[in-house]
Amino acid sequence: MQVDLLAGTSHRPPMMPERRPTLLLFDSGLGGLTVLSEVVRARPDADIVYVADDAAFPYGRLSEAALVERVLAVMERLVARFHPDLVVIACNTASTLVLPALRARFPIPFVGTVPAVKPAAERTRSGLVSVLATPGTVARDYTRGLIESYAGGCEVTLVGATGLAALAEAALKGETIEDGAVLAEIAPCFVEREGKRTDVVTLACTHYPLLLARLRRLAPWPVEWIDPAPAIAR
């Protein structure tokens, strides 16, 4: 039997290059860069847009209503411009408040960043866990709900660091920051109770891992610091 190879191939549509997914990472400042590095490692096939809303940094100074309004307005512009397939809100302060509104407004997936309370509770041996966060994240009902759901058997200390995110931004920009200023922000995380000590501190702000080497050096005693970035990327 004679086969016409030309006829057999002439009806195939031309092969189209596979479209690369577009991921949008959003934060109030530069803290989300800690998440960006993990996302780049996990999805080298993606086009990634990083946006820092530094005009409104830090988000913790905004009221809840103002924060929701701000993030929705900025996201409207970003989605219209970049058409992302998925958005990562690389900010605990925003995620613990704005995610429901974002998911209701836009028909695309949103990945949030929330305090890693569950893994902290699973890893502690002393039962003393600290959540190092911004004052806004500490005040959220969402954060307290995580503690009730996943850390009922632990003593959880919520520490609202007022200036640590700004110190992290300054350090990333090459500015000099004093050890004493950093230590004052993290000191409340270290609790001693009935012969036990805090042994796990979860970093509930994406800015804080920028200072991780310094946090380890200044800690009154060794603890496990939980960086949420790998879990967010997964």
Query: Known catalytic residues?
Result: 91, 205
Check: CB of residue 161 under 8 Å from CB of residue 136. no
Rounded distance between C-alpha atoms, residue 133 and residue 202, angstroms: 8
Cis peptide before 58, with omega less than 30 degrees from 0? yes
In 3D space, the residue among 100, 140, 150, 85 whose CA is nearest the CA of residue 120 turns out to be 150
- Alpha-carbon gap, residue 36 to 89, rounded angstroms: 11
The SS3 assignment for 8 reads: helix
How far is residue 183's CA from residue 54's CA, in Å, rounded to a whole number? 25
Q: Where are the alpha helices (DSSP H) in the chain?
A: 5-9, 33-42, 64-82, 92-105, 117-123, 135-139, 141-150, 164-172, 179-186, 212-218, 229-233
First to last CA, the chain: 54
